[in-house]
Structure 1
Amino acid sequence: MPQTPRMLAATAALSSLLLSAGCVPQESGWATSYLPDHNAKIPVIMPQSAPSISQQFYRDPDGSGHLGIDIVDRIGTPVLAAAGGQVTGSYFEPAYGNRVTIDHGPGPDGLRDITVYKHLNSRKVSKGDRVERGEMIATLGNTGALAGGIPHLHFEVHREVRPNVTRAIDPQRIWVGGVGQVSCFDPAATTEPDGFRTTYPVPCRSGANRSPDAAQDNRKGLASLVKSPS
């Protein structure tokens, strides 16, 4: 059943209530579970220093759903480019507030990868700007009706399936460290990964990756928050 604007707003409001009630148990090092009926669940490993993930990717059969991840942090937290590329959008719109879109160029197959950053408090880049991995492009916020008043970054990854036609994919699939291994941006890294791979789009509290022994496996995380559209 398609979600109407009223239904979307109600879901966002309920999500806001859950967050304000403390349903995100810690500020960093935690990721919520996938929704039970999501059929492509990925075990997620979070560095203890990474701001927590309050909602995972979910796609409904009709192609709608929660087509990204939500990262919870304070308003004004820097938002970082998840990989290098060119800014193709930097604007405000009512539902998702301030957003930035980055085109990361074609891969070996000639198809492009795109990242999208929504509900931003402020935008630091303009259309046409070139950005590097880890560069500050915005600040985290709660703008747009679908933010539900929750300070968070809604982060999406889109991949071309054929020229000029994109499809959202689960951001957990393409971290630099591997599938499900949330990867903090490390400014000391001197090499780029092969192919399109992303780093966490907000700073980790230590500013660098932790060792695997310091990572928290969230396969037994708390039950997922309600599915929200944002």
Structure 2
Amino acid sequence: MRFVRLSAVVAAMLIVAGTASQATATSARETMAAPDLQLPFPCGQKWQLNTWEHAPALDMVKEPDQHGTLGATLIAPAAGTVKQSYRHENAGNMIQIDHGGRYYTTYIHLQSRAVSAGDRVQRGTVIGKVGKDGETANNHPHLHFELGYDANGDGRASWGTKNSERVRPTFDGVTYGQANGREWNNVTSRNCSATSPEGTAKIYGALPDGRLTYTTIDAESGERTHGAVVSATSLGFTPKAIATLNFNTLLVTKPGNDGELYRVDIRTNNEELIFETPVLLGTGWTHDLLAYDGESHLFGIAAGTLRRYTLTTAKPAISDITSNTLIGTGFTLKTLTTTGPDWILGTTTNGLLLSYKINGKDDWDRHQLRDSTWQNFDALLSPGGGVYYGHNPAGALYRYHDGDPYDGKGDDLTAHNTVDATGWAQTLLSAQPGTVT
């Protein structure tokens, strides 16, 4: 189910806060820098954005299919001072934040407000919860969001009406709200300044004898909460590389010159781990490392060459693995994982921790997060939310947290705790992507 269209969601509001001509707004914006905004939701969450008939304002509902929109946590997209926080007859609970430079963000139809006028907020500060409050919400849970610019210099940004001072917002470097009737699906939040990740890391592994394991870890505390559950049967071989596509599907490769790629369908992984006979998908998959980004892209490295594939279904046949793109060479990584859509992370034999934003063929951004000490890990995995787990051959698993895994910096990367000092005997480990935010 997609977002039900809201007719005249805000156009009927009786809000008068001043108007400005487009020429004046354009002239003023040329001299004022807009705030560096992220989506107003926790790191890793996916949301659908719509302009409907009130561009450049946006209505936002949570993916997939709006599940979890009502009551979803709302966080500040950038630092600022709360300008308004009250209940409006038509808009319902609303908040406006002054971000400086005459730019303001406004949030309406909230279920609740967690800040008051005058409060100072940082990016990631919880400011309220998404709701359906106010007559113009049409009883449909969603966030109505506006970025406003005080073009007439009266110390505020009008909002809620066609002629108000709202302008096109940019989140994580991408601009939205260009025209009425526009929709953007699965927009991922990079608002990753929260210090406590939420969710459960779900980790598959392979033992030397080819049996599979399943373990869960609480992302916030770092404590192992379930498992390891070990399969009674073996794959029949010790896999060379492994990638978790989802809770019930793995891809593994078999050592050898043929480079056989198998799909493993998991039937249960609660008190026992049962899987179907591995399905041979094809040959030529000589990758030393595999990782799936949780969105649509599978990454593989063989002899320092990085390739990206597109997966078009949750349980792919070989025909569903398309767009074999040669990204580049020189990716001499010892370990490989993904931290989000088109972001990969790995370590080198000389101890570097490297993050890459993959844009396309011969196009990537490289970030060196650490200069040393990461050489001892033989596996690196991330369930999302900036949480990283490093495994060493002695059987220890260590947990790290990157406050913002997409800023290209390592100064907010901290070692939180040891999950287990021993016991992790797996030769391969892979986390289900996107289970932690």
Q: Which of 104, 119, 122 is 1:114 aligned to?
A: 104
Please point out which of 119, 128, 145 is paired with 1:129: 119
Of the candidates 89, 92, 98, which is equivalent to residue 103 of structure 1?
98
1:41-67 alpha-carbon deviations (Å, 9 max, x no partner): xxxxx99841222x2275xxxxxx455
Which residue of structure 2 aligns with residue 141 of structure 1?
A: 131
> Secondary structure of 1:52's partner?
strand
Instruction: For residue 184 of structure 1, give the secondary structure of its aligned residue in structure 2.
Output: coil
1:179: which partner in 2?
175
- Residues of 1 paired with 2:75 and 2:97: CA distance? 11
Show the counterpart of 2:340. Answer: 210
Q: Which residue of 2 aligns with 1:153?
A: 143
- Which of 148-157 and 175-184 deviates more? 175-184
* 1:169 aligns to 2:158 (yes or no): no
The share of aligned pairs that are identical, in percent, is 31
Tell me, what secondary structure is at the counterpart of 1:146?
Answer: helix
CA distance in 2, matches of 1:67, 1:143: 21
1:138 aligned counterpart, secondary structure: strand
1:82 aligns with 2:77: yes
The amino acid across from 1:178 in the alignment is V
> 1:183 & 1:209 partners in 2: Cα distance?
13
Q: Is the 8 A contact 1:115 1:157 kept in 2?
A: yes
Q: Residue 47 of structure 2: which of 42, 51, 57 is its match?
A: 51
* TM-score (normalizing by structure 2): 0.29
Check 1:147–1:80 CA distance in 2 against 1; reply closer, same or farther (3 A cut): same
RMSD value over aligned CA atoms?
A: 3.5
How much has 1:123 moved relative to structure 2? 0.3
RCO higher in 1 or 2 (8 Å CA, sep ≥ 6)?
1
Task: With the length of structure 1 as denominator, give the TM-score of the two structures.
Answer: 0.53
* Contact in 1 for aligned 2:44/2:188 (Cα 8 Å): no
Q: Normalized per residue, which structure has more strand?
A: 2
Gaps of 5+ in 1: 1-8, 13-45, 59-64, 107-111, 190-204, 215-230
Label 1:162 to 1:10 Cα distance change in 2 as closer, same or farther (>3 A). closer
Contact 1:186 1:209 in 2 (8 A): no
Give the structure with the larger helix fraction.
1
> In the alignment, is the contact (CA less than 8 A) between 1:183 and 1:209 conserved in 2?
no
Is the contact between residue 45 and residue 188 of structure 2 (CA under 8 Å) also seen in structure 1? Answer: no
Larger radius of gyration: 2
* SS of match in other structure, 2:175: coil
Tell me the CA shift for residue 68 of structure 1: 1.1
Whole-angstrom CA distance in 2 between matches of 1:182 and 1:160? 28
2:61 aligned with 1:72: yes
